[in-house]
Structures are given as structure tokens and as C-alpha cells.
Amino acid sequence: MTISTLWQLAPTAVPVSGRSEAFPVRRVYCVGRNYLDHIREMREGNERDDPFFFQKPADAVVPDGSTIPYPPHTGDLQFEGELVVAIGTAGSDVSVEEARAHVFGFAAGIDLTRRDRQRDCRDLAHPWEAGKSFDRSAPCGPILPAEQAASTLSGELRLSVNGRQRQHTSLELMIWDVPEIISHLSRSYRLMPGDLIYTGTPAGVAAVVPGDRIHVEITGLPALTVTIGEGETHASQ
């Protein structure tokens, strides 16, 4: 693969609903343990801990309609349906009151997780990359500009697998809401246009296998649907 080909592949971009433009992805941040029922489901963490963050590579983002090959090095691939926040304005040490002004829009997302690898990392006190930061692990639906998403943050999230509902929550049940997440994150990183923030998942996470169809709906936003495909063979390019 040549350098010119690499430039053609980058950056990853997410469609913007109702516009011809796309949203180029710079970084992907994810919030851990942001719903009480998921903390209790996983039996880890203190229910009043401050938010913490991990990252996925920008090219882990894949669009609505994708078929995602079952990843290597896992026997327990799990879904986590999440609200995604797209950042449109740069900022550091952003106050909670100013945070909404930095939002470009919102989308439905899935944090795909190699749960067995994540647990291995936890038990060994290693970083979570092996469980979280792998190829195609951050599906993201079309982004709806913030001015058109007035009802989203008081709305609901639903995730189904093969037509069966597996996750359902009110976004108002997030421990840390969107302005608080942006404020906390901006204390450690300068947020920039192109950043995506996955805001955490409720209870109901479970494993998927090749052939499964995952569908996420969030009030007021374009839906996201991906299919888990057969595993692919990794060979030298």
C-alpha cells in the first residue's frame, strides 16, 4: 500500500443527516460505566465514581449498513448501544454551562467489545485496548446536527438483535449527562472538531455471533444497523 493510497483512505468520515457534507473523525473517546444498571450488571466499579474515558482509533468507526467481520482473538463479542456526541468547536476546561455550544450533533452508536479480552485486561491491571480498541469496533449512524436534535437528550435508546429488544433506557438515566461529560473530558484533552464521544451503555449487553443484525434507535436520531459477518483471515498486504 502506497502513501498516496493511505491519504485517500483517511480520514474516516461519518455522514451528516440532511447534508451533502460528512463529519471527518479525528478521535474517538468512550465513557466507561455511565449507567447504574450496567455497573450492577457487570459487578464492577463504584456507583459514584467520576467518569473515566478510553479511546478507540478513528478508523474503528464504520457507518450504518456495514457488515462487520467477527473479530479475531475473541469468543465473546458483545454489543453496547450508546448515544454519540460529535464535537464541532474546540475547547479546553469547558464549563458545564458552555458545553452544549461545543456540540456539532448527535448519533446512534455501538461500542463493540471483546468482553473476554477486556476481562483479561482488567484481571491483569492492563489497559483495555485489547478488549475495546480493535478494527471496526465503533459503528456510528448518521449525525444529526444539534439544532435539529432538541428532544434527543430527554429521549430513549433501544437496541435490538435480530428484531428482539435487548437494551432499553432513558438517556436521562446517564450518571453523567452530556454537558458534564464534555466538561470532564476537556480537563484532560483539548477537544477538537472531529472528535466523537460515546457516552456509555445501559444494562442488557450480550454476545453476538456471525449473522446477527444489531439495530439501534435513539429518539429523534437516524437509526443504526450493522450485521456481524464471518471472521476474516488476516494476511500480509
Contacts (Cβ under 8 Å, ≥6 apart) of 190:
90, 91, 92
The residue with cell 446477527 is: 212
Query: How sure is the predictor about 37, in pLDDT bands with cuts at 50, 70 and 90?
Result: low
Mean pLDDT for the stretch of residues 168-178 = 93
Percent of the chain at pLDDT exceeding 90: 77
pLDDT tens figures, 96-109: 999 999 999 999 99
Task: Give kind and range of the element (H or E) at residue 218.
Answer: strand 213-218
- Mean pLDDT of the residues in the chain: 90
CA 169 to chain centre: 16
Predicted confidence at residue 5, as pLDDT, reads 53
Cβ atoms 190, 171 nearer than 8 A:
no
Query: How sure is the predictor about 122, in pLDDT bands with cuts at 50, 70 and 90?
Result: confident
DSSP H helices, 170-230, are 178-188
Mean pLDDT for the stretch of residues 115-133 = 89
Task: Give kind and range of the element (H or E) at residue 37.
Answer: helix 36-42
Question: What type of residue sits at position 18?
Answer: G
Comparing CA positions, the residue from 221, 51, 63 lying closest to residue 139 is: 63
Question: In angstroms, what is the C-alpha Rg of the chain?
Answer: 17
Whether 95 has a pLDDT exceeding 90, the answer reads yes
Predicted confidence at residue 234, as pLDDT, reads 47
Q: Is the peptide bond before 63 cis (omega within 30 degrees of 0)?
A: no
CA dist list (Å): 139 to 2, 98, 186, 218: 27, 28, 23, 14
d(CA 69, CA 34): 28
pTM score: 0.91
Sign of CA dihedral 29, 111, 85, 34: negative
